[in-house]
Structure formats: structure tokens, C-alpha cells
Amino acid sequence: MIDRYSRQILFPGIGKEGQERLGNSYTVIIGCGALGTIIATSLVRAGVGKVRIIDRDFIEYHNLQRQVLFDEDDIRNQLPKAVAAERHLKKVNSSVEIEGVVADVNYTNIEKLISGADLILDGLDNLETRFLINDASLKYKIPWIYGGAISSLGMTMNIIPGETPCLRCVWPKIPSLGTGLTCDTAGVISPAPFIIGSLEVTEAMKILVGAEEINRDLVYIDAWEGIFDHIKISPRLDCPACGGRYDFLKGQFEVECNMLCGQSAVQVMNPRVDEVSLEQLATRLEPLGKVTYNQFMLNFKVDNHEMVVFPDGRAIIRNTQDYSLARALYAKYIGT
């Protein structure tokens, strides 16, 4: 085992003691897309003792451009991302305890899913779940590393409960519907998540081995322009989460789903949104599928899905009774 990690042990920041600490650590990765696959593969190769990988999605062809753990066989075998990741990584390092969990992380299950973790890493594609992680992290005093990437841009920040500002210190409110771009609407080139994922892994190693030189800024990159910036974040005195009020963990801002009576459709409601510009939404969705709209509603068809969006932010996802699919489609195309 020493031989496997010899090059990492030679690095003074890790050393023999650091390697042992990594081997005794338990990390939870939430979201296994481009960011998550880079993070998972690096942590398993580095010999982190236990790695749990949580994701709710299946693999699609448009994922392969940047989600390095997956291949065409996984799509043919219709594997969920968490399962495919677990299978591939067990072949990479059999000494690591790897657990793929297929789940939609929400306020009802997050406390159980992160229980006992030394560190949580963000591989998500939506802000809503990140605010939920933020609450859970502060409540249970588990550090987490925020990371997000879209287009050629990315951001990351370490959140150490009681020491650093938190995500709600950065964004007191979640940006409202229609302004939240996603990789499915704005596109993404692989270097953006690769760089951010790698920065998250570097900080994870530092936190797990107990290094003092942990980054306390928000790091912003633009891979296309070659920009790498540090932004100082101050703690907000009136931050509810830092003050011990966990709104997201109580489900107060959770996107709500209801089955529509007499038809195969799910209604999705976002309590944080009271108005959405259907015109702007149509402009964003037009390159991706068939869009029609008037002042009352917008109809969008993509792949085998159909959704209707209303100006109050409500949406009806047709031809499904699956809440987590409905929530995923809402997050993907409309934003959180």
C-alpha cells in the first residue's frame, strides 16, 4: 500500500502521517457529474478510506464529453451514475470502501446521508441543494467544499463551520428563477469542471490531513480567458445559517411536487419564486427543444418530456408520476 501512494507520500504536504489520515477519512460526494467524477476518482486514487458518492441521475451520451468516469457501456447498461462510479472505482482501488447511493438529496434525507462524514464535497448542478448542504454542514459541524462550473467559468470555496463565512454569507438569497443558468442551457467545456474539481480535491486533502494553509477565499476561474481570481468574503453578521437558523433543512424553501389528479403529470412549485419572464425563458430554451408560449404559459418539449411553465414559476411536467424526475427536469431547464 505504501508503494501505491509513494509519490504522494514524497510530497511534503502529505507525508506518511498525512497518508494515514487520508486512509482514516470518510468523505461524502454529493452529485456525480463532471465535478463529482473528477473528485471521486481523485479521492479514491489518493487512498481516502471511505468515499460515498450520491447522485440521482442516469448517464446520457451528452455526459460523456466531460464526466470522466463513465463510458458507452454504462449507457447501454442503463446504469445510474452512482452505481457506475462505484463499479469503475472499485477496480481502481480495492482498498477504499466505495459506496454509490442512488438518491435525490433533499431535506428529508440529507442528515442521514452525511452522518459521520469528515468532509462533504459539492459535485452538484443546482444551488438549492447546495444551500441544504450548507445548513446540514453548519448544524453538524462538518466542513464542506462548495464548487460549481458552467460554460468556461467556475467557483469554489471552503466552508469550515465556526471558522469561515458560509454559502449564505455569500448569497443571502438564492438567485431567482430564470437567472439561474444550468449546463443544460448555457453549455460547458470540460476544463471548467476539471479545474474546479481538482481545486476541491486539493482543499479536501489539506482539510483531511489537517494542514494550516487552507484557502479562505472564494476562488473564481475562467478557463477560456485564463483568469484565476481570489475574492475575499466577509462573514455576514445577520446570516441566518451562521446564526443557527437552518431554513433549508426545515424544508422551508423546498421545491414542492404534487400529482395532478386524473392525469400522468406532476406539478412542481418553487416557494422562492413568484414571477418568471416567459419570454426570457423561451429564449434560453429555444436552442434545446420545441418552445411555444404566450402571456399565460410556456410549453417546452425536449427528448421525451413535455413541460408547461406558468408566469408564477409553477410548472407541470407531463407523462410522469416520478417526483424526483420532475424536480430534476425543473432544475435542469428552468433553474432552481
Q: How far apart are the first and last CA of the chain?
A: 44
Beta strands in the chain (DSSP E): 26-30, 50-55, 97-102, 119-122, 144-150, 153-159, 218-222, 227-231, 256-259, 265-269, 290-293, 298-302, 305-309, 315-318
Nearer to Zn ion, 69 or 241 (CB): 241
With a CB cutoff of 8 Å and minimum separation 6, the contacts of 22 are 14, 46, 47, 48, 49, 205, 208, 209
Nearer to Zn ion, 124 or 166 (CB): 166
**Residue 205 beta carbon to Zn ion: minimum distance, rounded to whole angstroms:** 25
**Residue 135 beta carbon to Zn ion: minimum distance, rounded to whole angstroms:** 10
Between CA 325 and CA 222 the distance in angstroms is 31
Nearer to Zn ion, 102 or 167 (CB): 167
Q: Does 50 bind Zn ion (CB under 5 A)?
A: no
Nearer to Zn ion, 241 or 309 (CB): 241
291 within 8 A of 282, measured Cβ to Cβ? yes
65 within 8 A of 43, measured Cβ to Cβ? no
Site string for Zn ion, 188-227 (x = CB under 5 A): ----------------------------------------
Between CA 216 and CA 15 the distance in angstroms is 23
**Residue 299 beta carbon to Zn ion: minimum distance, rounded to whole angstroms:** 40
**Residue 234 beta carbon to Zn ion: minimum distance, rounded to whole angstroms:** 10
Site residues for Zn ion, window 272-291 (CB under 5 A)? none
**Residue 71 beta carbon to Zn ion: minimum distance, rounded to whole angstroms:** 40
The three-state secondary structure class of 127 is helix
Site residues for Zn ion, window 118-177 (CB under 5 A)? 166, 168-169
* Partner residues linked to 150 by β-bridges: 153
**Residue 167 beta carbon to Zn ion: minimum distance, rounded to whole angstroms:** 7
Exposure string for 246-282, b = 16+ CB within 10 A, e = fewer? bbbbeeebbbebeeeeeeebbbbbbebbeebebeebb
Nearer to Zn ion, 21 or 130 (CB): 130
**Residue 241 beta carbon to Zn ion: minimum distance, rounded to whole angstroms:** 5
Nearer to Zn ion, 90 or 272 (CB): 272
Nearer to Zn ion, 168 or 332 (CB): 168
Cell numbers for 165:
463565512
Site residues for Zn ion, window 225-264 (CB under 5 A)? 239, 241-242
Q: How many residues bind Zn ion (CB under 5 A)?
A: 6
Question: Can you give the binding site for Zn ion, defined by CB under 5 A?
Answer: 166, 168-169, 239, 241-242
